[in-house]
A and B are shown apart, each in its own frame.
Chain A
């Protein structure tokens, strides 16, 4: 509240069907978990007031999306204006991990972000509560992927047992706020020109 205006942070959760996007959202927003979530059609969103670094308050809009690939064609409109994109895979499902990159590319294509290189993504490997025998994606592989995607942060979470969910979303909120302010600053500096982004954060430039 201290800052000029109430911030709305728009966060989009993407990932294959069944990786736990809905569960993560509910765990974070309501601190609840249920076995009974239905498959998400289209998209749902929930909001949560967040306090970032004990300093700034913002409303986080968490958008949960349908995971089946064909639904991407519906998502176009609401990717716009996103402040952070959360990429989720299931540590027990290799394919969901392999698809992360295409989810990211898809997002960038449609979100129309001004500076794709610095746009904040966060990678989540969900379901780490699963039996070790079932885990097929190593943390190392995930970290390598995260590095290759521009050193994006990666967290290993369990929506079921709440492991790391809050931590991850703290980070998500932080990078979303950063992104939001970059855009806002740019906007205020130059009403019609969104190119002039001030970079003053950790996610410095390019992806390699």
Chain B
């Protein structure tokens, strides 16, 4: 059935078939070429190799094929597309959508981007040609692997798992997420997407040219390798990897294959172990993570059709099963981390773009190489990264910093009605007052706003930023390294700052000029209220950031914005510094380490954390190691590495020359001047 309807639909229809006026429907689903038959990289090579047990395990379940057969498995991105495939819905609407989409794209793009036209033509004709073979690719792949699976299995991934009615289809984006979120309406989404998908198409055509220039295959099903890293490629990545290539691009840039090759059978063994554990009567006692994982499975992407129970008539979605396996396997693989909430989002997103085994290894890489220590039992890595972020805010967003750590916070109670205390705040126009205090209190007792920003890091913005923005961030994360998370965070905070100061402008000017001594109108701006406002904006602002280019083009690509100079080296050095600072004060700052439960064998040191996960990951993360050694050689300020050698010496960002304080004070002044100038220009 599936196969059949699949094809008909390709030849098929017009959007007239859609239950609803198809205004924007076309954009909601990927054009057919995006059905990723990414078998090019033999996603399941290792699974294929591995023992039958694994396969049995993997392929168990009501719907035998779906997610895990090499083709579909692959990517749900794919499978979003796949699901766009016919079988789901009895055939017509989704696919017709795809056709329509293709048409539109064709004409609109051709007219819009004349420079690209020639190329586009080839691209388009190629892609339409690809449709059919494409399916065949699937077939080939399934056949390749069918030796270990039931030979009866349908060739095209069965997708009755998703049971959206045709008129529902338009409510979901190309990955299966509901377009409407708590902060974005479907109309907003559609309005934006009608532009943005053209951008995506343009970018893709450029990518294709680039690939061809390097003699690399560029059809969706064959893109597994990428050109050597250079500025141009970096720029391309920053402007977005084509959605259909994403899984493979991440895998490639993160060096996943190397890690997998070193651990060929490991995932299979972990699955075997899981199978044994499943049989234990007291498994939940022995493996307390199981229960928490279980509880989070349906709370990961309840707004994504691939994860929705309701969408599946019989039993659990394959995605949920994969997610469970990946998370449980991880908790066994790295007991030091076990399961930490937020990893469900990481794994969930990975599973939408990569097969299960690769997703697992990417999770390993994320938690060791990119976010060392962040998910550990004591979450010390989070605290360190938040400390680093706060240092960056202090350095690069001083106005916001005054909101985050108003001075009165240092001088005592933060309890209500503190009008009097307000007069010491907002004095920063005279220089870097906080920094010159030489106090790093905030590194130990992180400001409340870090509770919000911590989740940005823990889940790498999944669920924080709208999906297309998140994916752009992930592209860069895997290409450039973890410092990109800081850049994005600073970008968001910068935009939040503008939002925050928008209504405040008059007020804050008054504060500055009077040096805060007059507070007649302060009643509506108590510290508590400021804090609340800050948190509220920081919490909701990113969720509204529908258009990736609002942050990428307007902030991250702007050389003029100083924090864009941050590089991995700087962030690693900064992490080291914060680690040291926190360790130095640990006994004081954390006297009552929580009573309640287990988990003691835990070490707070970032580098150790990454070392500990090393047996598994180190070799592949040569990247990181390079940085690490650089960090050590880069004794810009040697005290950093000697706990106790200094008393709260402030961190010096690289560009400052010799005297940190002097220079940052100067910088601050320049910044203020420039800001004023900007204002006048506006």
Residue ranges of A at the interface with B (Cβ–Cβ < 8 Å):
5-8, 10, 17-18, 35-45, 47, 59, 61, 66-78, 80-81, 99, 102, 105-106, 109-110, 180, 183-184, 187-188, 191-192, 194
Contact = CB atoms under 8 A, between A and B. Distances in A.
B53 to A, nearest CB: 31
Interface in B458-502: 458-459, 463
B446 interface: yes
A18 B292 CA distance: 8
B597 A37 contact: no
- CB-based closest 10 A-B pairs: A42-B455, A36-B302, A41-B455, A18-B295, A102-B596, A78-B448, A39-B299, A68-B341, A41-B342, A43-B451
Interface residues of B, number: 56
Nearest to B419: A5
23 contacts: A5-B523, A6-B523, A6-B524, A10-B528, A36-B303, A38-B301, A38-B302, A39-B344, A41-B458, A42-B452, A42-B455, A42-B458, A43-B452, A69-B596, A70-B377, A70-B599, A71-B341, A73-B380, A77-B446, A81-B528, A110-B592, A183-B416, A187-B413
A158 to B, nearest CB: 18
B296 to A, nearest CB: 5
B529 A8 contact: yes
Given A38-B302, A188-B417, A73 B378 contact: yes
A99 B416 contact: no
Residue with the highest number of chain A CB atoms closer than 10 Å, among B295, B412, B446, B524: B295
Given A8-B416, A194-B413, A73 B379 contact: yes
Contacts of A184: 415-417
A6 B416 CA distance: 10
B463 A76 contact: no
B230 interface: no
Contacts of A66: 341
Contacts of A75: 451
A187 B421 CA distance: 12
A142 to B, nearest CB: 20
Contacts of A70: 340, 376-379, 599
A77 B451 contact: yes
Is chain A's interface secondary structure helix, strand, loop, or mixed overall?
mixed
B326 interface: no
A73 B447 contact: no
B417 A187 contact: yes
Nearest to A42: B455
Contacts of B193: none
Interface in B590-606: 592, 594-597, 599
Interface string B244-279: 000000000000000000000000000000000000
Interface of B: 292, 295-296, 299-303, 340-342, 344-345, 376-380, 382-383, 412-418, 420, 445-448, 450-455, 458-459, 463, 523-524, 526, 528-529, 532, 535-536, 539, 592, 594-597, 599
B450 A77 contact: yes
A73 B445 CA distance: 11
A41 B459 CA distance: 8
Given A41-B463, A194-B415, 18 more contacts: A5-B417, A5-B523, A17-B292, A39-B295, A39-B296, A41-B345, A41-B459, A45-B535, A59-B532, A67-B341, A74-B451, A78-B448, A78-B451, A102-B597, A106-B595, A110-B592, A184-B415, A184-B417
Contact of A41 (B341, B413, B450): B341
A77 B459 contact: no
A29 to B, nearest CB: 12
Contacts of B532: 8, 45, 47, 59, 61
B302 A35 contact: yes
Nearest to A106: B594
Given A5-B523, A39-B299, A68-B292, A81 B415 contact: yes
Residue with the highest number of chain A CB atoms closer than 10 Å, among B299, B459, B532: B299
Contacts of A77: 445-448, 450-451
A44 B463 CA distance: 13
Contacts of B342: 39, 41
B526 to A, nearest CB: 8
B295 A17 contact: yes
Contacts of B303: 36
A70 B523 CA distance: 37
Contacts of B383: 73-74
Nearest to B344: A39
Given A68-B341, A73-B383, A180-B416, A106 B596 contact: yes
A77 B452 CA distance: 12
Contacts of B379: 70-71, 73-74
B233 to A, nearest CB: 32
Contacts of A192: 412
Contacts of A8: 416, 526, 528-529, 532
Contacts of A61: 532
A54 B378 CA distance: 45
Contacts of B523: 5-6
A72 B140 CA distance: 50
Given A5-B417, A184-B416, A74 B302 contact: no
A81 to B, nearest CB: 5
Contact of A42 (B292, B454, B536, B592): B454
Contacts of B301: 38
Nearest to B421: A191
Nearest to B598: A69
Nearest to B454: A42
A81 B445 CA distance: 14
B404 to A, nearest CB: 11
B414 A80 contact: yes
B382 A44 contact: no
Contacts of A73: 378-380, 383, 594
Nearest to A75: B451
A74 B454 contact: yes
